């Protein structure tokens, strides 16, 4: 299976999980398994229009708007949760990508300081290295 198909499947599964967790409003089990890794203080940008998500994604060098072009979907379905107390799960830091963890940092800026951003990464060394660099700020 090529990387584009894997990435598309991964993203679809992520959105389904996020939606299910948000509608259920119950992250107790996940909170036992994982900890929030990105502190609220990293949020520094406010989005005011549809192109703002794309600009933000380009700033963090994610492939969400260059390879996959998810900007319309994310802006349409997730913009209502900006500056809310959303509980959000990012699955994987993209340890094989040129900029590791760029999406995780993007979500903090996109959702704002009240969001609880959680990350699951199976590559322990990659996850710990990323956390040392970005997670403790």
3 state SS of 90:
strand
pLDDT tens by residue, 82-121: 999 999 999 999 898 888 999 999 998 999 999 999 999 9
The span from the CA of 125 to the CA of 60, in Å, is 22
Task: Tell me the β-bridge partners of 36.
Answer: 118
Query: Does pTM surpass 0.85?
Result: no
pLDDT tens by residue, 2-41: 776 767 676 776 766 665 555 554 444 444 334 444 444 4
3 state SS of 118:
strand
3 state SS of 87:
strand
Domain ranges of the chain: 3-135
Tokens 């319309």, residue? 72
């Amino acid at each position: 299976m090529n990387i584009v198909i894997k990435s598309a499947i991964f993203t679809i599964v992520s959105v389904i999980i996020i939606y299910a967790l948000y509608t259920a409003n119950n992250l107790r089990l996940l909170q036992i398994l994982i900890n929030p890794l990105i502190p609220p203080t990293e949020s520094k940008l406010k989005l005011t229009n549809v192109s703002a998500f794309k600009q933000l994604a380009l700033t963090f060098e994610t492939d969400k708007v260059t390879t996959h072009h998810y900007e319309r979907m994310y802006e349409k379905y997730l913009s209502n949760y900006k500056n809310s107390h959303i509980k959000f799960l990012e699955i994987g830091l993209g340890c094989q990508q040129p900029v590791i963890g760029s999406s995780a940092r993007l979500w903090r800026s996109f959702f704002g300081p009240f969001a609880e951003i959680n990350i699951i990464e199976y590559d322990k060394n990659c996850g710990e290295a990323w956390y040392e660099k970005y997670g403790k700020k």
